[in-house]
Chain A
């Protein structure tokens, strides 16, 4: 999966999966310890969003390094790619968040 669009999709679905998995499986713990599961589900979904993006683009350092190369050494193509990867991860994570919110039927 080396092509640009392939990597874009990989990042999108990874961030979506991280968010859905973390919140859905994580909320089971709330049931076990007697807390309101939906509240915990939504809180995890909200808090894990940024980590889902980071996990999907594969760690922050390489991305920041490429951003630096793009800005200071004129590698605009790489810079644009990285921005699209971040955007894709963000869209995936946000879509996961929206799925969770609509699944439990709460407007928050």
Chain B
């Protein structure tokens, strides 16, 4: 009976010792990464704080002015092909989305009444975009101008080189 109790105590002691040694070794082996992530996190928190303040200021300035100003570009991509898996299609859509937003980026902050609605679709309409080492031709289907600029585009893969 006494022997079993001693064994039990020894087992628990060994377990605790192993736990502490394991924890100490993990601290030594991954500690540097944890430290880096901690400092990066702190830096990002700081950035977030300053950007949030900036955003609030911009919002309050915008609400004071009566003109409608474009604040966001929201493209909607329709990919007309069955050659891709869902994941590939999502990736292509995301990249095209980014490209289209880049093309209209300069309009953010512009008052709506200063824009010519006839010219805006032409910025990307018929344009060939290189995404994921493939070429896609973009056709603007719908465009709605408001605070959020909505653009619906149909995308077809351009199988021929752009010169042909």
Chain A residues in contact with chain B, CB under 8 A? 24-25, 27-28, 30-31, 34-39, 41, 103-106
Question: Does chain A have a CB within 8 A of B116?
Answer: no
A105, B34: Cβ atoms under 8 Å?
no
Q: Which residue of B lies closest to A34 (CB)?
A: B38
B32 touches A28 (CB 8 A): no
Contact B28 A103 (CB under 8 A): yes
Q: Is the CB of B35 within 8 A of A31?
A: no
**Across the interface, which residues of A come within 8 angstroms of B26, CB to CB?**
31
Contacts A38-B32, A104-B31, A104-B32 given; does A27 touch B38 at CB 8 Å: no
Main secondary structure of the interface of B (DSSP, over half): helix
**Bound Cα distance A1, B156 (Å):** 87
Q: CB-CB < 8 A to A25: which residues of B?
A: 20, 23-24
- Nearest CB in chain B: distance from A102 CB, A: 11
B contact residues, total (Cβ < 8 Å):
12
Chain B residues within 8 Å of A, Cβ to Cβ: 20, 23-24, 26-28, 31-32, 34-35, 38-39
Q: A36-B39, A103-B28, A104-B28 are in contact. Are A28 and B34 (CB under 8 A)?
A: no
Contacts of A24 in B (CB 8 A): 24, 27-28
In whole angstroms, how far apart are the Cα atoms of A30 and B28 in the complex? Answer: 12
Of B20, B26, B38, the most chain A CB neighbours within 10 A belong to B38
Assess the A37–B20 pair: CB atoms within 8 A.
no
- Give the 7 A-B residue pairs with the shortest CB-CB distance, closest first: A38-B31, A36-B35, A24-B24, A37-B31, A36-B38, A28-B23, A38-B35
Is the contact region of chain A dominated by helix, strand, or loop, or is it mixed? Answer: helix
Chain B contacts for A39, CB-based, 8 A: 35
B residues less than 8 Å from A106 (CB atoms): 32
- Provide the bound-state CA to CA distance between A34 and B34, in Å: 9
Looking at the assembled complex, report how far the CB atom of A106 sits from the nearest CB atom of chain B, in whole angstroms: 8
Kindly report which residue of chain B lies nearest to residue A28, judged by CB atoms.
B23
Besides A27-B24, A31-B34, A39-B35, 4 new A-B residue pairs in contact (Cβ under 8 A), listed by A number: A24-B24, A27-B31, A31-B27, A105-B32
Query: Of residues B26, B31, B32, which shows the largest number of chain A Cβ atoms within 10 Å of its Cβ?
Result: B31
